Amino acid sequence: MSRQIYTPVTKVMLSSLVMIVMSLTLFACQLTADTFRPPTQAELAAFYKEQDITPLTNIQFEDAVVFLYQTSTSFGYYALSVREPDGEMVTSQLAAPNSDEPILVMGQSSGSHPFVAIIIQDPKLLAETATIEVAVDAASPLTASTDSQASVILVSPAFATGWRTVTLYNAQGDVLYTQGG
């Protein structure tokens, strides 16, 4: 009789033990959510070499790096993130052919980090420009000092439906050049 009681109790304990082990195994093997981080300097250097490009300027966010580049035939930007835990480089890119315009303008008006990127191609404008201003919808304009650099990336604090007029100013605040509506 004790054997009959012992067997069902053993089966219950064994099945409970199996359930506990399976639960622990599933918990231990549970996939973790992907997180993103900006690439390290070494990862950026490897990417630049692989793509055979030289960045003009970049800006780092908590989860990505955006950099502007120009080649002999095109200009554009890359947004780079590293997906963890697997270390995969995630890229988005926009490129356009170079033009003979005094300035080149591109960017993204949506996403987590709306921005506009500007390259000053005209040597005279580059030498004289101290500040760049970009009109954004009804919001306050975005402004940046050029610090004698040919390119800048201006980040919008919020979603923008588009970029309006780009204006270049000299150190005295005089308008040197305006492009756009």
Dump pLDDT digits (tens) for 8-31.
Answer: 556 555 566 666 666 666 555 556
Is the same domain home to 41 and 63?
Answer: yes
Is the same domain home to 16 and 39?
Answer: no
pTM listed for this prediction: 0.75
Is the same domain home to 39 and 24?
Answer: no
pLDDT per position as a tens digit, 26-47:
555 556 688 999 999 999 999 9
The total domain count for the chain is 2
Is the same domain home to 83 and 1?
Answer: no
Is the same domain home to 119 and 92?
Answer: yes
DSSP 65: E
Is the same domain home to 11 and 39?
Answer: no
Ranges 25-29, 76-80, 101-105, 144-148: which has the least confidence: 25-29
Is the same domain home to 26 and 97?
Answer: no
Is the same domain home to 53 and 13?
Answer: no
- Domain range for 133: 35-179
CB 145 within 8 A of CB 129: no
Phi, psi of 38 (to 5 degrees): -70, 150
Handedness of CA 80, 82, 83, 86 (dihedral sign): positive
User: In 3-state terms, what secondary structure has residue 8?
Assistant: helix
Is the same domain home to 21 and 101?
Answer: no
Is the same domain home to 160 and 91?
Answer: yes
User: In 3-state terms, what secondary structure has residue 78?
Assistant: strand
Is the same domain home to 113 and 151?
Answer: yes
Is the same domain home to 16 and 73?
Answer: no
The proportion of the chain whose per-residue pLDDT surpasses 90, expressed as a percent, equals 54
